[in-house]
Amino acid sequence: MDTAIPRAGEADAPARQTPTIQRTGGPASRPVWPHLLGLLVLLLPIYLLRGNPFWIGILAFTYLFAGLAASWNIIAGFGGQFSLAHGVFFGVGAYTVALLYLRAGISPWLGLLPAMLLGAVISALISWPTFRLRGPFFAIATMALNEVAAVFANYFDHLTGGPRGLLIPFRAGLANMIFVERWKYALLTGMFMVLVVIVSLVLLRSRLGYYLLAVREDEDAARAAGIPALRVKILGMMISAALTAMGGGLFAMFVRVIDPPTLFSLQDVGVKFALLTLIGGMGTIWGPVLGAMLIVPLENFLRTWLSDVLPGGHYIVLGLFMILAARFMKRGVVGAYLTLIRRRRA
């Protein structure tokens, strides 16, 4: 069901590359309906768990982080730029939607648009200098941006509430994006996940998508072929950041309490998008979604189960799980599955 592009070095010789591409299918050659069917199946638990507030809440967070991981995958998986700055865009989206609702009375549905625009603009401003760095230097530079954003959010307390944060009052209503029934939040975040997956599918079938893949494989060769690599990376980052900011806005209206440690925490936000994608399968359509479906419920289960016995023990278990995944499934769950299929067909 997934779209996979063989990365450089996966074939022994150029003569063997073409059959591999024909077996797995390129971005534009595979039908879209299996992806849409898969998304419908993933939304089915909303109906099955609608009467269980605890699990429906976990499901809502699972869908949300699936969409956020898929947003990160656009620039990191397709474009090969391992950004750790997406916590900044997530926080910008959350604060923008919350402040427009609290200060100006603007419906969160409308507030999502300026949040996405602001996230895209900020991403372009910080990407122009940081994209001149490569490899680990780029990742380190983007990681530092989360700390800078947290400092600004704490300093401008008249706007963000500082360490106290912002509290969104409970005024249930569709216009306020606040619901009594928790399954409606799950449906909302599920639609967000669907939207990001569809955007990823459309992007992979576009000229920009092919340019991103070319830059990922060999940026110097892409430049030699006439691809404006810097502009392509900035456009990919803007799309990724806009969708991440949208997810941040949905998060703000879901939890209704936001503060700098929650929004700009590197381990819980900035790195989490990357971990979910790496475990599921980086550079694939379904990898980020499957990574979230595996890790988010497991994390909540372990936190509840180990809270009395070993506080913080869920981090140990998740760390071991991630180490094993990195050791035995270097291309993630989806990559391991596609490799197995290719071997059986060979």
**pLDDT digit string, tens, across residues 36-82:** 898 999 999 999 998 899 899 999 999 999 999 999 999 999 999 98
Summarised one tens digit per residue, pLDDT across range 278-316 is: 889 888 999 999 999 998 998 888 777 776 677 767 677
- CA-based R_g, the chain, Å: 20
> Does the pLDDT of residue 8 top 70, yes or no?
no
Instruction: Indicate the residue type of 74.
Output: I
* CB-CB contact of 242 with 120 (8 Å): yes
Instruction: Indicate the residue type of 40.
Output: L
Query: Which CATH fold topology does 14-345 show?
Result: ABC transporter involved in vitamin B12 uptake, BtuC (1.10.3470)
CA torsion 219-234-270-43 (nearest 10°) is -100
Predicted pLDDT of residue 141:
85
Helix or strand run (H / E) with residue 236: helix 229-255
**Rounded to an integer, what distance in angstroms lies between the CA atom of residue 212 and that of residue 230?**
10
Predicted pLDDT of residue 143:
85
Predicted pLDDT of residue 28:
54
> Does the pLDDT of residue 264 top 90, yes or no?
no
Phi-psi map region of 135: left, alpha, beta (phi>0 left; psi -120 to 50 alpha): left
Domains of the chain by residue range? 14-345
Res. 231 pLDDT band, cuts 50 70 90: very high
Predicted pLDDT of residue 121:
96
Summarised one tens digit per residue, pLDDT across range 90-132 is: 999 999 999 999 999 999 999 999 999 999 999 999 988 888 8
pTM: 0.87
Predicted pLDDT of residue 18:
34
Lookup result for tokens 């980052």: 237
